[in-house]
């Protein structure tokens, strides 16, 4: 199906009396729109700033992952300078097209541990534990059973009890694996790390083969656009307007002193429009933009709103706070001379790989990273260093005692949570490492990703513009800053040594040569701290800026456990920003589950579902 830009004009869109109006046609927004529009009595409208793009190779072909980053399909967000990163500014890619970041991500499909979601419920958010979320994970997906060969040769597994089989997103194991795949698993097994035969069942610790959001028959990316939107584009009650930049949510004062969301003001093609919503406005603009839109509408910290020239309608200092993000270091190794960089191009070269893909839907361009391992710190860190970290954690001050209790419990040595993630991929993926142009060596990268960061930052509307459409949010993750950030930094520097152990272990050591970045000349903790600060990047999993408040209510967050914004009737947030604590997983599958559950709750509240 060819993409059709603006199936409806802004003027026409504005004249429709919508029952539900969704801000953001991305990962969560399209899933919510698809579920609500299943009921013909509701008119559902979606406002999306980016274009509708279909059949674009850099989106569709799995092996071209990453090539849309920094293009016109990326919002191009950046952090403010980070003192903990030696003053560096980091890019924060987010999808600027229909489908949002589901069109840009690396198609990793996994879930956090049971304890991750149970912690949300423990904070006072009933209905958000593992058992409650599992049906919505399954509702979003069709996981294709791996072949017997995949199961025996590559450790692919399938558990029908926890796998969805009728959902919109197609999930499958790769058809192609790099040379290192089996060797990675065997090397980790030799270090006492067990293979996980049920990594989607509530525990992802150990080493396992990842499934991906890829349609197996076509070997193309399965994402919100081609899974939730295009199959339903024929519905007469579903309307999508692209090129629409939201200025603010219309809030009308009510007799009881609160407010009600009645519509949205937006700009399209340079002209401002207003559109109404009879029942609800649903904000699904993501962790970066959802808090900005709330602030541009007068919901947030009065001081921040005043500095942006906005009148306060709902006083809530939690809007834009509680930002949590996975922190990543890329450790580069030489590969032995006989090893080719076959992850991207194969031994035949990039042209031959593309031809193989186009002709047969086979070869290296069908593959994305599949070598995964999640470990508790007690496994990855030397015993003394783990104890040092535990002491730092136990001594932390915290204004949120509930949250502090949960995060502290994760350092109990009896816990078996995936606190640190390791991924292996061919090629040099560290932009700070630049071999000379005449360097004929090949490289491989071990990614090391911190899963439960103690560093917490914020995202707010830019006070100099006060306009969310200006695309200049103030993103301050506060990487490695303060007492909390020191824990993250120490965890990262000491986890590098386990990456070295993996690379030195047979049979992987038959392919991987010496570590080249950080260079072997680095030996002391201070030198590792300096290197980590100079090279750390984001893993593109920001959460928490409109989090559920739990038992503390508006004192602890932005939305209640049914995702309703405190102090406003008819306004919900449904996206990754509602997560009160980070999870040990890539967030794609969880965002779809949040969207499915959010849509279900809306339908319940409007007496459609029991």
Q: For residues 508 and 185, give the distance between their C-alpha atoms in angstroms, rounded to a whole number.
A: 9
Q: Please, which residues have CB within 8 angstroms of residue 36's CB and are 6 or more apart in sequence?
A: 20, 42, 44, 599, 602, 603
Burial class (CB in 10 A: 0-12, 13-18, 19+), 338: exposed
User: Is 73 annotated as catalytic?
Assistant: no
Phi and psi angles of residue 592, each rounded to the nearest 5 degrees, phi first = -65, -40
Instruction: Determine which one of 541, 561, 582, 606 is catalytic.
Output: 541
User: Is 404 annotated as catalytic?
Assistant: no
Phi and psi angles of residue 19, each rounded to the nearest 5 degrees, phi first = -80, -45
Burial class (CB in 10 A: 0-12, 13-18, 19+), 382: exposed
Q: For residues 361 and 356, give the distance between their C-alpha atoms in angstroms, rounded to a whole number.
A: 7
Phi and psi angles of residue 325, each rounded to the nearest 5 degrees, phi first = -145, 140
Burial class (CB in 10 A: 0-12, 13-18, 19+), 432: middle
Exposed e or buried b per residue across 445-479, where buried means at least 16 C-beta atoms within 10 angstroms of its C-beta: bbbbbbbbbbbbbbbbbbbeebbbeebebbbbbbb
Q: Say whether 246 counts as a known binding-site residue.
A: yes
Helices (H), 259-343: 286-296, 302-307
Task: Report the interhelical angle of 482-504 vs 383-394 (nearest 10°).
Answer: 160
Q: For residues 508 and 517, give the distance between their C-alpha atoms in angstroms, rounded to a whole number.
A: 18
> Which 3 state secondary structure label does DSSP give 299?
strand
Burial class (CB in 10 A: 0-12, 13-18, 19+), 391: exposed
Instruction: Determine which one of 73, 259, 460, 586 is catalytic.
Output: 586
Q: Say whether 101 counts as a known binding-site residue.
A: yes
Residue numbers annotated as active site: 541, 586
Instruction: Return binding residues for FAD.
Output: 101, 246, 540-541
């Amino acid at each position: 199906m060819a993409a059709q830009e603006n199936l409806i004009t802004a003027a026409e869109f504005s004249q429709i009396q919508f029952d539900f109006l969704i801000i953001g046609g991305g990962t969560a927004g399209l899933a919510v729109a698809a579920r609500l529009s299943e009921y013909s009595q509701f008119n559902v409208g979606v406002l999306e700033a980016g274009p509708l793009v279909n059949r674009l190779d850099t989106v569709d072909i799995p092996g071209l992952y990453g090539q849309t980053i920094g293009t016109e399909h990326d919002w191009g967000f950046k952090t403010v300078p980070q003192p903990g990163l030696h003053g560096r500014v980091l890019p924060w890619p987010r999808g600027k097209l229909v489908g949002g970041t589901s069109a840009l991500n690396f198609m990793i499909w996994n879930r956090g541990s049971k304890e991750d979601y149970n912690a949300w419920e423990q904070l006072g958010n009933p209905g958000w534990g593992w058992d409650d979320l599992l049906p919505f994970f399954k509702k979003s997906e069709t996981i294709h059973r791996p072949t017997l060969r995949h199961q025996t040769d590559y450790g692919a597994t399938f558990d029908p009890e926890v796998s969805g089989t009728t959902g919109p997103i197609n999930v499958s194991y790769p058809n192609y694996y790099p040379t290192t795949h089996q060797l990675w698993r065997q090397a980790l097994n030799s270090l006492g790390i067990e293979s996980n035969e049920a990594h989607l069942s509530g525990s992802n610790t150990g080493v396992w083969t990842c499934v991906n959001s890829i349609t197996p028959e076509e070997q193309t990316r399965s994402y919100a656009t081609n899974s939730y939107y295009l199959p339903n584009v024929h519905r007469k009650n579903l309307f999508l307007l692209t090129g629409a930049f939201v200025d603010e949510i219309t809030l009308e004062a009510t007799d009881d002193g609160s407010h009600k969301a009645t519509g949205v003001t937006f700009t399209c093609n340079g002209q401002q429009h207003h559109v109404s919503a009879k029942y609800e406005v649903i904000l699904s603009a993501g962790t970066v933009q959802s808090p900005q839109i709330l602030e541009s509408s007068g919901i947030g910290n009065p001081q921040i709103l005043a500095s942006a020239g906005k009148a306060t309608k709902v006083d809530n200092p939690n809007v834009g706070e509680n930002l949590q993000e996975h922190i990543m270091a890329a450790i580069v190794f030489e590969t032995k001379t006989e090893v080719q960089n076959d992850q991207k191009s194969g031994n035949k070269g990039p042209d031959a790989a593309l031809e193989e893909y186009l002709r047969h839907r086979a070869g290296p361009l069908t593959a994305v990273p599949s070598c995964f391992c999640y470990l508790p710190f007690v496994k990855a860190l030397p015993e003394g260093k783990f104890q040092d970290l535990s002491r730092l954690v136990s001594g932390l001050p915290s204004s949120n005692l509930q949250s502090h209790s949960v995060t502290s419990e994760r350092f109990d040595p009896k816990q078996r949570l995936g606190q640190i993630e390791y991924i292996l991929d061919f090629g040099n993926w560290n932009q700070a490492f630049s071999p000379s142009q005449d360097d004929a060596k090949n490289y491989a990268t071990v990614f090391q990703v911190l899963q439960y960061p103690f560093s917490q930052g914020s995202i707010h509307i830019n006070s100099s513009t006060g306009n969310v459409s200006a695309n200049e949010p103030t993103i301050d993750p506060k990487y490695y800053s303060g007492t909390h950030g020191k824990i993250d930094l120490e965890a990262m520097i000491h986890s590098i040594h386990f990456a070295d152990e993996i690379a030195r272990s047979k049979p992987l050591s038959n392919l991987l040569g010496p570590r080249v970045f950080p260079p072997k000349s680095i030996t002391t903790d201070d030198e590792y701290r300096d290197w980590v600060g100079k090279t750390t990047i984001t893993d593109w999993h920001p959460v928490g800026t409109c989090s559920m408040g739990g038992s503390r209510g508006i004192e602890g967050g932005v939305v209640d456990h049914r995702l309703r914004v405190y102090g406003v009737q008819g306004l919900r947030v449904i996206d990754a920003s509602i997560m009160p604590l980070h999870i040990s997983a890539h967030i794609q599958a969880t965002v779809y589950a949040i969207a499915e559950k959010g849509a279900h709750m809306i339908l319940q509240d409007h007496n459609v579902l029991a």
